[in-house]
């Protein structure tokens, strides 16, 4: 029982004892305990579990994710939040080569050629964890965070510090954040690297939340990001026109070469609007993204939360994303890097990773959340994630389309 509840209980006991005797005092104690229990049931502390099955069509990647999360206010000035994630990853992923039927061969091989991009089978598992504590002192809120993630080919250590300042009678909150990740890309028999490589990421954020009225919250933020070190994908290769090829379904590729430094600039804005007549709320967000790879991206998100009665919330969502290609993206490149006598100039940077191409993605679906008991919420959701190329060059078979099913629960305590 919380300290405030105990004080109230003592005062009630003192007041009741002279009037009603022991039986009355016992009734008051029982009633107070019941009320205290109700009060706890409606608290903000919770433990969550969510299972997500992400499955791409046509046997591409499948990822089963289990996530555990808890949030507990230990003191009025201290809230802890922790999270653990387990991913089971398996499936086929493009290796970077174009479909054999679209490959520019100096001497085309005989016979029918596949129209799909060649893929390789990957299998991995990932454990990740995060722990953060929010420390509050008056209008100041400081949240240090530590994170860790481990796969057989990747290890990440992260630290972040977020600060929030309430202003203007809590109508405004200013937000500042800094995060640093120190990652290791681990070599194995399937990677293009022979030794482990390192990568560092820094992110700075400045933003604000502003109440625009009793029903409207505006959020704005600007993030500057800087990545340095080994920024290639160690599994993606690049096909060069002049390098001799044997089996067109198993082409000989070279490791991609991306710049070892990347800066990103990300303005973000969202509006959360309560629509009283419909007992619902709309969250609309827009993000602009630009980076030193030459990529520009626009993201529009819309989520509607519909209350049905006092226990059910239905949340349909739609998201649209569009990006331009990286300056060094191509499906295949001229020349032969292994031939020092080649007269064809090899570019400094090159990648055939379809995720750096000019493309768009759509996400749509819905989630249903039901508070079945005062202390228990269940949720289930279904989404589709669909990618599509826009450059007219990259094979449509490179782009993934996936179904995402989620099932979860939240226990309030």
Partner 1 sequence: MKTRPLLALALAIGVLPTVGCQQVKPWQRGALAEPIMSADFDPIGTQQNEHIFFSREAASGGRGVGGGGCGCN
Per CB under 8 A, which of residues 112..131 are in contact with partner 1? 122, 124, 126, 128, 130
405 binds partner 1 (CB under 8 A): no
Radius of gyration of the chain from its Cα atoms, rounded to whole angstroms: 27
Size of residue set near partner 1 by CB under 8 A: 110
Cβ proximity to partner 1: between 3 and 123 the closer is: 123
171 binds partner 1 (CB under 8 A): yes
Whether the Cβ atoms of residue 102 and residue 88 lie closer than 8 Å to each other: no
223 binds partner 1 (CB under 8 A): yes
Rounded CA gap, 173 and 17, in Å?
48
Rounded CA gap, 34 and 58, in Å?
55
319, β-bridge pairs: 301, 363
166 φ, ψ to 5°?
-80, 135
Torsion sign over Cα 355, 329, 181, 144: negative
As measured in angstroms, the least distance from the Cβ of 266 to partner 1 is 4
Residue 205: CB atoms within 10 Å: 18
Per CB under 8 A, which of residues 287..306 are in contact with partner 1? 287, 289-293, 295, 297, 299, 305
Binding characters for partner 1, 14-53, by CB under 8 A (x = yes): ----------------------------------x-x-x-
Cβ proximity to partner 1: between 118 and 337 the closer is: 118
The binder of partner 1 chosen from 5, 226, 260, 263 (CB under 8 A): 263
Whether the Cβ atoms of residue 60 and residue 293 lie closer than 8 Å to each other: no
264 binds partner 1 (CB under 8 A): yes
Cβ proximity to partner 1: between 56 and 98 the closer is: 56
395 binds partner 1 (CB under 8 A): no
CA angle 142, 147, 151 (to 5 degrees): 170
As measured in angstroms, the least distance from the Cβ of 160 to partner 1 is 4
As measured in angstroms, the least distance from the Cβ of 127 to partner 1 is 9
Pairing relationship of beta strands 359-373 and 376-389 according to DSSP bridges: antiparallel
148, β-bridge pairs: 129, 157
Cβ proximity to partner 1: between 103 and 149 the closer is: 149
As measured in angstroms, the least distance from the Cβ of 2 to partner 1 is 20
Q: Dihedral angle at the C-alpha atoms of 41, 44, 49, 50, nearest 10 degrees?
A: 120
Q: Which two tokens stand for residue 141?
A: 């809120």
Per CB under 8 A, which of residues 308..327 are in contact with partner 1? 313, 315, 321, 323, 326
Rounded CA gap, 107 and 57, in Å?
34
Cβ proximity to partner 1: between 157 and 349 the closer is: 157
As measured in angstroms, the least distance from the Cβ of 382 to partner 1 is 12
Residue with tokens 């030193």: 292
Per CB under 8 A, which of residues 333..392 are in contact with partner 1? 355-356, 361, 363, 367, 369, 379, 381, 383, 385, 387
219 binds partner 1 (CB under 8 A): yes
147 binds partner 1 (CB under 8 A): yes
Rounded CA gap, 115 and 204, in Å?
43
The binder of partner 1 chosen from 179, 253, 255, 352 (CB under 8 A): 179
> Which residues contact residue 138 at a Cβ distance below 8 angstroms, ignoring those fewer than 6 apart?
none
Please classify residue 214 by burial: count the beta carbons closer than 10 Å to its beta carbon, then call 0-12 exposed, 13-18 middle and 19+ buried: exposed
Give the Å distances, CA to CA, from 333 to 117, 237, 295.
Answer: 16, 11, 20
As measured in angstroms, the least distance from the Cβ of 378 to partner 1 is 13
Q: Which two tokens stand for residue 110?
A: 């005989």
Per CB under 8 A, which of residues 181..210 are in contact with partner 1? 181, 183, 201, 203-210
As measured in angstroms, the least distance from the Cβ of 81 to partner 1 is 8
As measured in angstroms, the least distance from the Cβ of 89 to partner 1 is 6
167 binds partner 1 (CB under 8 A): yes
As measured in angstroms, the least distance from the Cβ of 63 to partner 1 is 8
162 binds partner 1 (CB under 8 A): yes
Residue 94: CB atoms within 10 Å: 25
């Amino acid at each position: 029982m919380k300290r405030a509840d105990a004080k109230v209980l003592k005062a009630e006991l003192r007041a009741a004892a002279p009037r009603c005797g022991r039986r009355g005092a016992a009734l008051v104690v029982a009633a107070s305990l019941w009320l205290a229990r109700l009060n706890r049931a409606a608290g903000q502390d919770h433990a969550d579990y969510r299972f997500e099955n992400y499955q791409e069509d046509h046997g591409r990647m499948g990822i089963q994710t289990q996530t555990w999360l808890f949030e507990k206010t230990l003191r009025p000035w201290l809230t802890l939040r922790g999270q653990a994630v387990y991913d089971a990853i398996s499936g086929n992923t493009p290796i970077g080569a174009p479909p054999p039927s679209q490959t520019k061969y100096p001497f085309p091989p005989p016979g029918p050629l596949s129209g799909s991009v060649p893929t390789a089978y990957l299998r991995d598992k990932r454990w990740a964890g995060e722990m953060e504590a929010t420390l509050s002192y008056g209008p100041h809120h400081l949240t240090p965070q530590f994170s860790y993630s481990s796969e057989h080919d990747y290890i990440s250590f992260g630290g972040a510090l977020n600060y929030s300042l309430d202003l203007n009678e809590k109508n405004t909150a200013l937000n500042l954040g800094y995060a640093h990740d120190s990652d290791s890309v681990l070599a194995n028999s399937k990677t293009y690297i022979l030794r482990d490589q390192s990568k560092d990421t820094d992110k700075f954020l400045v933003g604000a939340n502003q109440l625009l009225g009793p029903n409207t919250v505006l959020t704005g933020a600007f993030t500057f990001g800087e990545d340095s070190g080994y920024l290639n994908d160690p599994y993606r290769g690049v096909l060069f026109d002049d390098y001799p090829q044997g089996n067109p379904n198993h082409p000989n590729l070279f490791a991609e070469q991306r710049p070892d430094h990347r800066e990103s600039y990300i303005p973000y804005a969202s509006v959360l609007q309560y629509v009283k007549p419909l007992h619902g709320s709309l969250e609309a967000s827009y993000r602009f993204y630009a980076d030193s790879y030459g990529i520009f991206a626009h993201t529009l998100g819309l989520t509607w939360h519909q209350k049905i009665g006092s226990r059910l919330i239905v949340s349909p969502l739609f998201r649209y994303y569009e990006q331009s290609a990286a300056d060094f993206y191509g499906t295949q490149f001229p020349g032969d890097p292994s031939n020092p006598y080649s007269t064809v100039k090899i570019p400094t940077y090159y990648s055939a990773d379809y995720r750096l191409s000019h493309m768009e993605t759509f996400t749509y679906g819905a989630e249903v959340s039901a508070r079945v008991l005062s202390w228990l919420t269940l949720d289930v959701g279904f989404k589709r994630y669909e990618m599509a190329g826009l450059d007219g060059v990259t094979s449509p078979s490179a782009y993934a389309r996936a179904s995402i099913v989620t099932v979860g629960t939240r226990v309030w305590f």
